[in-house]
Amino acid sequence: MIEVTILGTSGEEFGYGSCPTAMTFFEQAEMVRNLAGLKFPNQVEVGYRNLEDGKDPEFAARVRQGELDLPLVLVAGELRFEGGVPWQGIQQEIKEAIAH
Give the pTM.
0.88
DSSP string covering 5-23 = EEEE--SSSS---S--SSS
Question: Confidence band (pLDDT; 50, 70, 90) for 100?
Answer: confident
- Indicate if the pLDDT at residue 15 is higher than 90: no
Question: Confidence band (pLDDT; 50, 70, 90) for 19?
Answer: very low
By percentage, how much of the chain surpasses pLDDT 70? 89
- Indicate if the pLDDT at residue 43 is higher than 90: yes
By percentage, how much of the chain surpasses pLDDT 90? 83
Query: Which domains does the chain possess?
Result: 2-99 (3.40.30.30)
The answer to whether 39 and 52 have CB atoms below 8 angstroms apart is no
